[in-house]
Chains A and B, each alone.
Chain A
Amino acid sequence: MTPSPLNAQDVEQAAAALLSYATTVAHGLAELAVRNERYDELAALAAAAHADQASCHLPLPEGPPTDADRGIDHHELIRRMEAAADALDELGRCSADPREVRDRHTAAFHARAAVVALRNALPVEEGAVG
């Protein structure tokens, strides 16, 4: 199955916008962790690094994060990032160009790492729920 180019672009664009937002959220969590010990500063920093690294393998987001993305809570963000990682992996499996295969799978890999780190950055009881 070959994904339609339009669809592929949509998936990448959505993931890029989401990851860009995730980096901001992760930095916010790291800042929060300085004052509130229930959050984990190091895991938040790792989440930001991985989200940034994932977005390095995706095109630049054409539009700003949509209103639907902004203001979502951490669990929703984590859920959407997991979905985006799955979609990127699926896209990677269907791609013909080896460079695209590599970029999409690497982006998915780092997005998943960011998800794990983000979960660890949240307070124990909150992280477990996600």
Chain B
Amino acid sequence: MRRDVTWGDFTAMAALRLEVALAAVTDAEGRSTPGRHASRSGALAGTCRLLHQYAGRFGPLAHDPLGIDEDDVARLRGNLDALGRALRDEAAYASPERDPVSRHIADATRFLAFGSDLLASHHGPAGQPRSPYAAYLNSPTVARHVIAETAELASTAGRLAARLGQSSPPSRDASDSRFAARRLAGPAVLIEQAAIGIHRGLNAPRPANPAPGLTHLPVAVTAPPPPVRPGEPRHEALLAVATGADWLAAHTARKTAERPSTIGELPVIADHTAAAHLLSARLLEHTSSLLVPDPGTCDALTSAAHTLRAAAQAWRRAADSWKQAALRSAPQISDPHFVREAEFAGVRLGRTLFSDGWTHRDGTRRTPRAPQDIVATRTDSAALLAAVHAVPAAGQVLAEHTPWIAAAAVEHGVLLSSDLAHNPRGGTPADQFQDRWTRWYPALPQQVVPVTAAYNAARQASGAAQSAVARAAEAAGHPIGRAVLDADRRRTLGFTGDPAHDARRVNAAAARTRSGTARGPWESVRPPGRRAAELAREVGALHPHRGRGR
């Protein structure tokens, strides 16, 4: 089964390359040549530049009273800058020469750049969301995780720089190479100190793994999968369900930042989402005997199917809530792609369950395919579970953002209502014969409340279904990495479905971490001097070679 390349993959690969380079430099006997030294220093300067960028982007968000010390983050950032400059100076002394170690370092830099691009892909040029994870990436938990990873990488890079300084080529003036070693070792030691401080800060009050899901973060989806075509191979269709659901979620998050022109598509999408949940439940029930090897763990699948059915009903109520509140908008669909993608997910799931020509209109009375036909191999069951997981995952994001779109539509006067009770020109039969009485009038904010409540219920139901499917996938032996990310996002952002409340929550979290005024009481307990001495001892243990060049 295809797996998205994630941020964790890139970071792990970069760390591995740096470790390999460090091992190679440590094992090498004697001093390097000027050309090698220049190319290694140049490559490592690139790594430092990227790590400095990471620290600059996430540093301001990372420190909080219970987590990382602000000084440690500042020290890490400043010394990465200093080390980068020193390495660039070293690289300028000779013309670079091809060398396996510098190639490893350059690869590490490239992987870090990929990871950085991946994070950047979740926001548009003006900072607007381009995926459901945009708000999550601005949260302090993620910043703490990124800073912890950056500190880890930076301390490896610092150790590597110190080794490069020790093995710098002998020059005519013997004091010159000693000077180079000192110049590189200085910031490296300070980076090490900052890194130790950061990891301690994370583990001190309570051991914390800030954002376990972050390592599963994929690139933001920017293009939908190709449309449904006749005779689409089953594995392609299941893959397209997952991609399409991702796109749908990303597109909803993107639409929240736009000015709405109609809400025509929202009830239609809610109906299609309900249908997709229902089909997912049917698929799990139909193939349960083949998905789970051990009949004892069948409960997980049964409960997943049950929660999916409940979610389908919640979605049907969400679709109906527009009608109940007598809300409509100018009659058009502003984004046909949006509706089509929601429909395609259902059509593809339906064709997997029934037959090739199936559409929604046919309902569920047809004879389904034999379970062995749907799940022939282990790869099929992994793809099926991933597709079934993507439906409630996207549904949850859809339900989170739709009330925001509705609120924006009210604000712009796009949302119209025909509810007589709220009509500003009166609702009695006598009023209706008066001049300028209109049946449709711009809806008031309080009229959206039932819609918001219905979508909030749908969000909770989809959330429950998503966790249940993730548990079922784990029981079936196909754990879904994205499930960890989604659970993490849900926990971090804690959406309630009420746009005003959610916006306040996200902004408050960001503001809290931006202000450095909030301080914990333990600050006074551990004076800075003692802290520095402790750190120096730990650094001494990690840097046995420190001071040898002096």
Q: In the bound complex, what is the Cα–Cα distance between A40 and B365 (angstroms)?
A: 8
Q: In the bound complex, what is the Cα–Cα distance between A50 and B272 (angstroms)?
A: 10
Q: In the bound complex, what is the Cα–Cα distance between A34 and B365 (angstroms)?
A: 15
B319 close to A50 (CB less than 8 A):
no
A116 nearest in chain B by CB position: B361
A52 close to B267 (CB less than 8 A):
yes
A41 close to B278 (CB less than 8 A):
yes
B360 nearest in chain A by CB position: A46
B528 part of interface (Cβ distance < 8 Å):
no
Which chain B residues (329-372) contact chain A, with CB distance < 8 Å?
Answer: 330-333, 339, 343, 359-365
Chain A residues in 8 Å Cβ range of B328: 60
B482 part of interface (Cβ distance < 8 Å):
no
Q: In the bound complex, what is the Cα–Cα distance between A53 and B264 (angstroms)?
A: 8
B152 part of interface (Cβ distance < 8 Å):
no
B361 close to A55 (CB less than 8 A):
no
B275 close to A46 (CB less than 8 A):
yes
Which chain B residues (302-324) contact chain A, with CB distance < 8 Å?
Answer: 312-313, 316, 319-320, 323
Chain B residues in 8 Å Cβ range of A58: 331
B316 nearest in chain A by CB position: A30
B416 part of interface (Cβ distance < 8 Å):
yes
A97 part of interface (Cβ distance < 8 Å):
no
Chain A residues in 8 Å Cβ range of B363: 40, 42-43, 46, 117, 120-121
A49 close to B323 (CB less than 8 A):
no
A62 part of interface (Cβ distance < 8 Å):
yes
Q: Which of A20, A34, A43, A116 contacts B323 (CB 8 A)?
A: A20
Q: Which of B267, B268, B313 contacts A34 (CB 8 A)?
A: B313
Chain A residues in 8 Å Cβ range of B268: 49, 52-53, 56
> Distance (Å) between the CB of A56 and the closest chain B CB?
4
Given contacts A57-B332, A60-B416, contact A45 B361 (CB under 8 A): no
B271 part of interface (Cβ distance < 8 Å):
yes
A117 close to B323 (CB less than 8 A):
no
Q: Which of B319, B361, B364, B418 contacts A113 (CB 8 A)?
A: B361
Chain B residues in 8 Å Cβ range of A45: 271-272, 274-275, 278, 312, 316, 319, 360
Q: Which of A20, A59, A62, A117 contacts B360 (CB 8 A)?
A: A117
A124 close to B339 (CB less than 8 A):
no
Chain A residues in 8 Å Cβ range of B313: 31, 34
B114 part of interface (Cβ distance < 8 Å):
no
A36 part of interface (Cβ distance < 8 Å):
no
Chain A residues in 8 Å Cβ range of B439: 60-64
Q: How large is the interface on A (under 10, 10 to 19, 20 to 34, 35 or more residues)?
A: 35 or more
Count B interface residues, CB 8 Å: 35
B362 nearest in chain A by CB position: A120
> Distance (Å) between the CB of A83 and the closest chain B CB?
19
B217 part of interface (Cβ distance < 8 Å):
no
> Distance (Å) between the CB of B358 and the closest chain A CB?
11
A66 part of interface (Cβ distance < 8 Å):
no
Chain B residues in 8 Å Cβ range of A59: 331
Which chain A residues (89-130) contact chain B, with CB distance < 8 Å?
Answer: 113, 116-117, 120-121, 124
Q: Which of A20, A63, A120 contacts B365 (CB 8 A)?
A: A120
B350 nearest in chain A by CB position: A42
Q: In the bound complex, what is the Cα–Cα distance between A55 and B363 (angstroms)?
A: 22
> Distance (Å) between the CB of A51 and the closest chain B CB?
9
A80 part of interface (Cβ distance < 8 Å):
no
Residue among A16, A34, A40, A49 having the largest count of chain B Cβ atoms under 10 Å: A49
B328 nearest in chain A by CB position: A60
Which chain A residues (17-56) contact chain B, with CB distance < 8 Å?
Answer: 20, 23-24, 27, 30-31, 34, 40-43, 45-50, 52-53, 55-56
A120 close to B361 (CB less than 8 A):
yes
B279 part of interface (Cβ distance < 8 Å):
yes
Chain A residues in 8 Å Cβ range of B418: 60, 64
B315 nearest in chain A by CB position: A45
Residues of A within 8 A of B (CB): 16, 20, 23-24, 27, 30-31, 34, 40-43, 45-50, 52-53, 55-64, 113, 116-117, 120-121, 124
Known: A40-B365, A42-B364, A49-B271. 11 other contacts (CB 8 A): A27-B323, A30-B316, A45-B319, A46-B360, A47-B361, A49-B343, A52-B268, A52-B271, A60-B328, A62-B439, A63-B439
Residues of B within 8 A of A (CB): 262, 264-265, 267-268, 271-272, 274-275, 278-279, 312-313, 316, 319-320, 323, 328, 330-333, 339, 343, 359-365, 416, 418, 439-440
A-B contact pairs, 16 of them (CB 8 A): A16-B331, A27-B319, A30-B274, A31-B313, A42-B363, A43-B362, A43-B365, A45-B360, A49-B271, A52-B271, A56-B268, A57-B331, A58-B331, A60-B416, A60-B440, A62-B439
Task: List the 7 shortest-distance A-B pairs measured between CB atoms, nearest first.
Answer: A43-B363, A46-B360, A49-B271, A120-B363, A40-B363, A56-B264, A117-B361
